[in-house]
Structure 1
């Protein structure tokens, strides 16, 4: 079980979602994923990824 408070680098979030890092940046820009700025980089909370995927599953049903 993964910790929902964990912050993932954009590259890690892309790996979890099996998409490119540019797709993650686009999802952040379109406010489909929440992110926070940590120094010079973006971090995506694992909880945000879970909510996003749950929404995709819900829309598909």
Structure 2
């Protein structure tokens, strides 16, 4: 697949929990706590829990 330059600059719409752990440095259990508290917005697709990337960015921005 050919990737265009503008596609590389786009943020993903959602990320998996494992990716959220890796990019935030938070533990898996802390990510699930933030999901339960409503601080992270998610969507379920089948068995997968996907976290809206914009909610991760908001969380980091608010805690800086």
Between structure 1 and structure 2, the one with the greater Rg is 2
Aligned length: 56
Question: Which residues of structure 1 form unaligned runs of 5+?
Answer: none
Structure 1's consecutive aligned runs of 4 or more residues displaced over 3 angstroms after TM superposition are none
Instruction: Indicate the structure whose relative CO is greater, using CA pairs within 8 Å and at least 6 residues apart.
Output: 1
Question: Which residues of structure 2 form unaligned runs of 5+?
Answer: 1-8
Q: What is the CA RMSD across the aligned residues, in angstroms?
A: 1.3
TM-score by length of 2: 0.77
TM-score by length of 1: 0.80
